[in-house]
Amino acid sequence: MFKKKPTASEVDGVQYRRAKTWQIICYACNALVGMSVYSLIGMASYSASIGYGITTAAVGIILTCTRILDGITDPLLAFVYDRVNTKFGKLRVLLIAGYLIEAVALYAMFTGFSSKGMGLVTFTLMYVVYVIGYTTTNMTAQTIPAIMTNDPRQRPTLGVWTTAFNYLVPMVMSMVLNVVLLPKCGGTYNQAFLTAACNVTLIVAAIGTLLVCLGVSAFDKPETFVGTKKTEPLKMADIVEVLKHNKPLQCYIASNASDKLAQQVGSQAIINTILGGIIIGNIGLGTILSVISMVPSIFFAAFGAKYVGKHGSKKGIVNFTCISMVITAVMIVFFLVIDPKQIGVMGSPAMIIYVILSLLQNGSNMCITTSNTSYMADAIDFELDRSGRYIPAVVSGTYSLVDKLITSFAAVIATGAVALLGYTATMPQPTDPCTPAIFWMGMVLKFGLPIIGWIITLIAMRSCPLTKEEMVNVQKRIAERKAAAQSEFYKEQLQ
């Protein structure tokens, strides 16, 4: 007979809370909200031009300023999050309220006020309202993993499902919008198409919101949010205090923000044009190869989750970062020793090697993403152990503020880099010749920046105290203190 494998609770001596698989899947359906809206808001510039007559330059300024606003509103939501306590819960109220605010703003932006003679002021106001709704929904959702489970084996599983949904939903939405709706609306981005795209997005997001609410309903209770000691209402000084004293959060900000900046620079359309169109010489095939190497790599996330569950979030981040660095270095050498144009030849050995290296690179990056999801939940629990306050919105909001301020420079870095190549009045085109300067700029921005980001990650993680063993001790201390605090909570409820 096979001996049953002991649970994490039995091994660690901690009574971990766990979520059911269907609850985790329902939570991952938050991608139906976030990523469907992401697909729609990517067409905001078309809505601004077609529906409001706003110039491209003005749209760029609006989108940049509102992204900074988006970062500022993230930690501010913590004050709302801290004070919402209703008989219908906290999470569901905020999720539904955030969706409704988003829905009203997007409907007005893309349909209600669009092509009605409105101008820049109306569009900007609607975009600001959208940011408020998006912040409410997104930041609330980010606090859920730490609430649903503290089992070190299960936490990475949430990362697997969310990673899979976050990649699949945009691909499906792209097919629906561009393959199904666009031809029906004349094949051009017009008001009819924007209206149809908005309606589909709001329906998908509504379904996602309801599924997430269903998944978190069992955890959305007042006692869930009780800390390990009595606390006063949240103040701005508390946010500063968390950033100053939560060492794992400091490490995470340095690690993930640097990685994300490199990722967003490399994903800019002009950088992909340089790599796929100019260096490889076949932007159409280059795009197809990217998709081919991306889809299977999602399954790497499952391996990453198993590894993190066994060895801890910190070790997962460090080890998969090292693997990503090696693969990326090999990719650079690969581009140096071959003629990159051969990658653009269907069926060539160079193309096959490129797909394999891209698959491995994407897979290791997926494992880092899975580790990061688990790590953020660990950082929230570390704060509960450190300060006695259960303030997940403060921890995730503080990170998000710094992250968005840093990554808002991605477009500036990309456009500034190509300007150094001489593209001051025009943008790189796939038909441009590949000069040594263009080749090296492509290598630096696509592969060099990620390596720099990973070096920063390894340096930051050296001083991080959240080892697998320490997290077990953290959970033991929380369990002991929370049992006493909840006992006091129930006594007060009975009085």
Which residue reads 């929230």 in tokens? Answer: 380
Amino acid 162: pLDDT: 86
C-alpha of 103 from chain center: 21
- 46 CB neighbour count, 10 Å cutoff: 18
Region of residue 39 (phi > 0: left; psi between -120 and 50: alpha; otherwise: beta):
alpha
pLDDT digits (tens, 9 = 90+) for 409-435: 776 777 778 788 887 666 677 778 888
Amino acid 325: pLDDT: 95
CA atoms of 300 and 24, how far apart (whole Å): 18
Task: Determine the angle formed by the axes of helices 21-28 and 30-41, rounding to 10 degrees.
Answer: 10
Amino acid 171: pLDDT: 75
Amino acid 344: pLDDT: 80
Amino acid 12: pLDDT: 66
Residues of the chain with pLDDT under 70: 1-4, 8-12, 56-57, 59-60, 226-234, 268-269, 283-295, 297, 411, 424-427, 485-495
pTM above 0.85, yes or no: no
Residue 209 amino acid letter = T
- Secondary structure in 3-state letters for the chain: CCCCCCCHHHHHCCCCCCCCHHHHHHHHCHHHHHHHHHHHHCCHHHHHHHHHCCCHHHHHHHHHHHHHHHHHHHHHHHHHHHHCCECCECHHHHHHHHHHHHHHHHHHHHHHCCCCCCCHHHHHHHHHHHHHHHHHHHHHHHCHHHHHCCCCCCHHHHHHHHHHHHHHHHHHHHHHHHHHHHHHCCCCCCHHHHHHHHHHHHHHHHHHHHHHHHHHCCCCCHHHHCCCCCCCCCCHHHHHHHHHHCHHHHHHHHHHHHHHHHHHHHCCHHHHHHHHHHHCCCHHHHHHHHHHHHCHHHHHHHHHHHHHHHHCHHHHHHHHHHHHHHHHHHHHHHHHHCCHHHHHCCCCHHHHHHHHHHHHHHHHHHHHHHHHHHHHHHHHHHHHHHHCCCCHHHHHHHHHHHHHHHHCCHHHHHHHHHHHCCCCCCCCCCCCCCCHHHHHHHHHHHHHHHHHHHHHHHHHHHCCCCCHHHHHHHHHHHHHHHHHHHHHHHHHHHC
CA atoms of 242 and 391, how far apart (whole Å): 10
Amino acid 1: pLDDT: 43
* Integer angstrom CA distances of residue 58 from 6, 49, 113, 384: 60, 10, 18, 44
* Integer angstrom CA distances of residue 308 from 14, 60, 156, 401: 18, 40, 6, 26
Amino acid 314: pLDDT: 92
Cβ atoms of 240 and 403 within 8 Å: the answer is no
**Angle at 317 (CA atoms; ends 316, 323), nearest 5 degrees:** 90
C-alpha of 321 from chain center: 18
Cβ atoms of 90 and 174 within 8 Å: the answer is no
CA atoms of 11 and 472, how far apart (whole Å): 10
Cβ atoms of 371 and 156 within 8 Å: the answer is yes
| Structure tokens given for 380 | 């929230």
Residue 439 amino acid letter = F
Among candidate residues 149, 154, 158, 204, the one with its CA nearest the CA of residue 33 = 204
Among candidate residues 142, 141, 113, 115, the one with its CA nearest the CA of residue 127 = 113
The dihedral over CA atoms of 162, 368, 269, 420, expressed in degrees to the nearest 10, equals: 150
Amino acid 390: pLDDT: 78
Amino acid 337: pLDDT: 93
